[in-house]
Structure 1
Amino acid sequence: MGLFSFLTQELAIDLGTANTIILYNEKIVVDQPSIVAIDQSTGKMIAIGEQARAMHGKTHENIKTIRPLRDGVIADFNAAEQMIRGMISLINTKNPVFTPSLRMVIGIPSGSTEVEIRAVRDSAEHAGGRDVYLIYEPMAAALGIGLDVMAPEGSMVVDIGGGTTEIAVIALGGIVCNKSVRIAGDGFTADIQAYMRQQHNVKIGERTAEDIKINVGSALPDLENPPADYIVRGPNLMTALPIEVPVSYQEISYCLDKSLSKIESAIFNVLEQTPPELYADIVQKGIYLAGGGALLRGLDKRLSEKVNIPFHVAEDPLHAVARGTSIAIKNLSFPFLMR
């Protein structure tokens, strides 16, 4: 048995639309953008993660950059398999001769269909996973935040990722009610691209929109510590001449308002379904925000004002799901793990 455990490598994977995070021995060993660059003529992967992201939007006809996940689920099976395999190989580079057997726990959106769940499982198995367990992302986020998910009391988590926003009420080791909406970080990026096109007549790519979101992204038009305006450079849509446009956080809060309102209505929807005893627990404890979207300036304040329940941003929102999957792999007896 000792030799068998030595030959088994346990990996906790947060397979995200925007970033893939892998933990091994409770340490983050891979934190890379979920993107691959593939040679069109051979179909082979030539770059992964940060390297592939640097190529995104700058390739010629022989190279194609693919984001294998869309809206939290696998959109390109072949690219997803290559990406998972490539990410795992980043860990195993130290010992190229010895390939251990892999046991994985992977986070998936709570609104996944049977087909989507099967696609994740198959991709993981093809990438070398011998034992593959799946966990719903809001449950993993709750574990990663440090909530006692097995307790007979209600906890509510809002996980705003790249492709989906997962909202769930958790009690006694199970999800009582939940909603998964396909409005999240990628939707915010698309909103910013559309806004820059309509308001400033400037064409920007996904990466620039992402930079705007990080530098001046805001959920409120009034912030206590406002960030400085962000200068955007790009071609004018009418003349194709280069222009520089300063973008303020107020503009971004206006442009993200519609998407944030949809997330708010989804939160209300889940609260409506929540049993009264659990609702009382949630009002007392507050609602927890996780995922990259939780880093949007003023989001917790905006939601607290709208919903009238305090919102708390997790200590490390970007890695909450990944840390939760890491806790789950040490406790495979958890009732919410799916084989």
Structure 2
Amino acid sequence: MLSTDIGIDLGTASILVYIRGKGVVLKEPSVVAFDRDTNKIKAIGEEARLMLGRTPGNIVAVRPLRQGVISDYTVTEKMLKYFIQKAIGKRMLKKPRISVCVPSGVTEVEKKAVEDATLQAGAREVAIIEEPIAAAIGAGIDISRPCGNMIVDIGGGTTDIAVISLGGTVVSTSIKIAGDDFDEAIVRYMRKKHNLLIGERTAEDIKIKVGSAYPKAEVTTMNVRGRNLVTGLPKTVEVSSEETEEALREATSQIVEAVHSVLEKTPPELASDIADRGIVLTGGGSLLSGLEDLIEAKTGINTMTAEDPMTCVAIGTGKFIEFLAGYRDEVK
């Protein structure tokens, strides 16, 4: 094994690594726990995620990526190095070629930060790809054809919406409303409505189990434990899917508005393609129950979720580097 081509989905919530010929080999939360006193890293990935909100004063569990952008450069670099080594193993004769995806709205400076961090983490060369294009490739859409495809990629920190044709982005927008904002909305709602203080991990559990973006035919409920803000004691409250729909309404309507604004700017020929082919949802945030129905109800366009929305971007990023390698061979 001389060299490997790797695709990395550098997400706010989780990092996925795709290796050519093997598929997605690693999926871990992008969380790092380090000791404040010694500045040593204690844990990375799932182990560190379990520490979120549960650490003593000297140990901090942080997310080095905020809203799809590097907020802590050195920690991101160490995290990337760790994940690359974990995915390909220590034995490597030649450094890998790596393609990394970034949200469509990032600046050149932010792109450069991702590129530098990846090179420092041990890449031979780095290709930067925009998230909607990676998501479209991963969802199995042939983006090279002159045909309009609309992708809505809802991640942890950003939602990327793009109309793609002939391998490029025609119209796109990136909004900083996504999965993390759903969690925050639930935390706020629980505090306001039930006087209950909950952590972000509990909020995520509520979102996964009973979260809904559209009124359900059958109401589901779950028990939630937290701290009562009046008495200061632990308390259990029953939460229904109807309540989560109310809590998430503001965030989901912003995503629908962004979809609407992209459709308004789409050239007529491509708009008719989208009306024909529908809208494809990818990313972990698209797993929120009822989101398809909400977008369909508001736009009147058939909306479907990709087969494996969580890994779409990682697969697309990995295939993009294969596409590049093939393209280089043709040029030669």
TM-score of the aligned structures, taking structure 1 as reference length: 0.93
C-alpha deviation, 1:9, in angstroms: 1.8
> 1:18–1:33: 8 Å Cα contact kept in structure 2?
yes
Deviations 1:252-274 (A, max 9, x none): 01110111111111111101110
Distance in 1 of aligned mates of 2:87 and 2:99:
16
SS in 2 for 1:55: coil
In the aligned structure 2, how far is the partner of 1:100 from the partner of 1:146?
30
Distance 1:169 1:60, change over 3 A: same
Correspondence for 2:297: 305
Q: Is the 8 A contact 2:18 2:24 kept in 1?
A: yes
1-structure distance, mates of 2:96, 2:39: 25
Aligned 8 A contact 1:104 1:133 in 2 = yes
Residue among 14, 18, 32 paired with 1:23 = 18
Q: Secondary structure of the residue that 1:332 maps to in structure 2? A: helix
Call closer, same or farther: CA 1:74–1:131 in 2, change over 3 Å. same
Paired AA for residue 239 in structure 1: T
- Is 1:290 aligned with 2:286? no
Q: Does 1:77 align with 2:77?
A: no
Q: What residue is the counterpart of 2:117 in the other structure?
A: 123
1:183 matched residue in structure 2: 177
Q: 221, 246, 250: which one pairs with 1:254?
A: 246
Aligned positions, number = 326
Is the 1:328–1:334 Cα contact (8 Å) retained in structure 2? Answer: no
1:43 aligns with 2:39: yes
C-alpha spacing 1:286/1:121, structure 2 compared with 1 (3 Å): same
Percentage of pairs with the same residue:
48
The runs of 5 or more residues in structure 2 that have no matched partner are 328-332
**Cross-structure match for 2:55:** 59
Tell whether 2:163 aligns with 1:169: yes
- Would you say 1:245 and 2:237 are equivalent positions? yes
Structure 1 regions of 5+ residues with no counterpart?
Answer: 1-5
Aligned counterpart, 1:3: none
Deviation at 1:61, TM superposition (A): 2.0
CA distance change for structure 1 residues 97 and 166 in 2, over 3 Å: closer, same or farther?
closer
Normalised by the length of structure 2, the TM-score is 0.95
After superposing the two structures, state which structure 1 stretch, 279-288 or 55-64, moved more.
Answer: 55-64
Distance 1:334 1:166, change over 3 A: farther
Helix, strand or coil at the partner of 2:169: strand
Are the aligned partners of 1:36 and 1:67 in contact in 2 as well (CA < 8 Å)? yes
Aligned to 1:204: 198
Contact 2:160–2:173, Cα closer than 8 Å, also in 1: yes
Deviation, structure 1 residue 104: 0.5
**Cα contact 1:66–1:79 (8 A) shared by 2:** no
Conservation of the 8 A alpha-carbon contact between 1:92 and 1:99? no
* Alpha-carbon distance in structure 2 between the residues aligned to 1:139 and 1:183: 19
In 1, the alpha carbon distance for the partners of 2:286 and 2:270 equals: 23
| Residues 215-226 of structure 1 mapped to structure 2, 5 A cutoff | 215-223=209-217, 226=219
TM-superposed deviation, 1:245? 0.4
Q: Distance in 2 between matches of 1:99 and 1:250?
A: 56
Residue identity matched to 1:169: V
Runs of 4 or more, structure 1, over 3 Å off, are 96-100
What letter matches 1:130 in structure 2?
R
Query: Partner residue of 1:33?
Result: 29
- Say which SS state the counterpart of residue 304 (structure 1) adopts: helix
Q: Find the aligned partners of 1:254 and 1:97 in 2 and give their Cα distance.
A: 52
Output the aligned Cα RMSD: 1.4
How far did residue 97 of structure 1 move? Answer: 5.1
Cα distance in structure 2, aligned partners of 1:189 and 1:103: 35
2:313 to 312, 321, 326: 321
Q: Which digits, 9 at most, give the CA deviation of each residue in 1:192-246, with x for residues without a partner?
A: 00001100101111111111111111011223x54x3111111101111111001
Give 2:3's match in structure 1, choosing from 3, 8, 33: 8
Contact 2:150 2:162 in 1 (8 A): yes
Q: Following the alignment from structure 1 to structure 2, what is the Cα–Cα distance between the partners of residues 193 and 113?
A: 31
Instruction: State the match for 2:330 in structure 1.
Output: none
The residue that corresponds to 1:193 in the other structure is: 187
Residue in 2 aligned with 1:277? 269
Whichever residue aligns with residue 278 of structure 2, its letter is G
Taking the aligned partners of 2:325 and 2:292, their CA distance within structure 1 comes to 34
- 1:103 is aligned, of 87, 97, 100, to 97
